[in-house]
Amino acid sequence: MKPHRGVIILVFGILGFVICPFFGVAAWSMGTTDLQEMARGRMDPAGRDMTKAGRVCGMIASAYIILWILVVILFLLASLIRNP
């Protein structure tokens, strides 16, 4: 049975908020994979709660990236419309 990576996933999820949202994408991806492995009985389920928390933080950080990109695109479009 493989050891869980709950601590790493949680840290990546938190770093997704604080430093770089791309850590959030990694936390989301790793968390999903690890939760599937835990459900299949191939990974130690002791870190399930930390893995879930890190995955949720990763999802929120990923949503932040998408929101940020949309805001930048809207500002660029607004500046193009005002100054053709």
**Residue ranges of the domains in the chain?**
6-82
C-alpha dihedral sign at 60, 64, 70, 71: positive
Distance between CA atoms of residues 5 and 59, nearest Å: 17
Global pTM value: 0.84
For 3-21, what is each residue's pLDDT tens digit?
Answer: 999 999 999 999 998 998 8
> Which residue stretches of 1-84 are H helix?
6-18, 21-40, 48-82
Count CB-CB contacts under 10 A for residue 70.
10
Instruction: Note the pLDDT tens digit of each residue in 53-79.
Output: 999 999 999 998 899 999 999 999 999
Residue 84 has pLDDT above 70, yes or no: no
Instruction: State the Cα–Cα distance between residues 57 and 83, nearest whole angstrom.
Output: 39
